[in-house]
Amino acid sequence: MTHSSGKELWLAAFACFFAAAAYAGIVFLTRQTPAASGFYGHALGILGFVLMLITETLYSLRKRIRTAQWGRMADWLQFHIFTGIVGPFLVLLHSSWKFNGLAGATTLLTAIIVLSGFVGRYIYTLVPRTADGLEEQSFTGQMQVAALANARRLLALWHTIHIPIGAALFTAAAAHIWGALYYATLLR
């Protein structure tokens, strides 16, 4: 049975700390909060969004494509969690701390999916797995059968929430990016 070491959480915290320090440096040097449509703001928004896109797609692809053997599932999930924290954090720095309208709603959806991710991570660890993410069969002793069935049901229910939020999030983000670029950047 593989244990989640939590290594990805420490790495994500470290990366967020590093980004926050760089952000503080920019605020200090320019004596203002980077505007979302400015150079730093754009860079943060784009980098964060790309990390979020990676989060949304790569793990699912590796999981769904049966013939795909690249990398262990456990490592892909750790990478999913790392980019799923760092991406949203960069996007938060991009916001310039204003949360109006569609962009604000997109940020809220982002926060919800990250928080729900932590819940999913916890439920996921209740189901024992091999390094490749398959459920460990040998584990199921008489006592644990019911608990395992419950954890599986909970994880299935969690999927039905986490996945639609992701879809809504990327729809809103696409509209925000198109609108923001059109009105705030191209028409300027």
Binding part of the chain for ligand HEM, among 16-24, 26-34, 48-56, 134-142 by CB under 6 A, reads 48-56
Tokens, residue 64: 């769904």
Question: Binding of ligand HEM at residue 114 (CB under 6 A)?
Answer: yes
The residue (of 85 and 143) whose beta carbon lies closer to ligand HEM is 85
The residue (of 148 and 166) whose beta carbon lies closer to ligand HEM is 166
C-alpha–C-alpha distance, residues 120 and 122, integer Å: 5
Phi, psi dihedral angles at 82 (to 5 degrees): -60, -55
The residue (of 13 and 20) whose beta carbon lies closer to ligand HEM is 13
Phi, psi dihedral angles at 135 (to 5 degrees): -70, 135
Query: Please, what is the minimum distance in Å from the beta carbon of residue 142 to ligand HEM?
Result: 26
Binding part of the chain for ligand HEM, among 16-24, 26-34, 45-53, 138-146 by CB under 6 A, reads 45-53
Question: Binding of ligand HEM at residue 55 (CB under 6 A)?
Answer: yes
C-alpha–C-alpha distance, residues 89 and 112, integer Å: 13
Binding part of the chain for ligand HEM, among 18-26, 91-99, 134-142, 145-153 by CB under 6 A, reads 91-99
Beta-bridge partners for 135: 129
Question: Binding of ligand HEM at residue 34 (CB under 6 A)?
Answer: no
Question: Binding of ligand HEM at residue 60 (CB under 6 A)?
Answer: yes
C-alpha–C-alpha distance, residues 169 and 111, integer Å: 10
Q: DSSP for 78-98?
A: HHHHHHHHHHHHHHHHHTTT-
Of residues 48, 160, 57, 58, the one with CA closest to residue 107: 48
C-alpha–C-alpha distance, residues 47 and 105, integer Å: 19
C-alpha–C-alpha distance, residues 34 and 40, integer Å: 6
Residues of this chain that interact with ligand HEM (CB under 6 A) are 36-37, 42, 45-46, 49, 52, 55-56, 59-60, 63, 77, 80-81, 84-85, 87-88, 91, 94-96, 98-100, 103-104, 106-107, 110, 113-114, 117-118, 120-121, 124, 162-163, 166, 173, 176-177, 180-181, 184-185
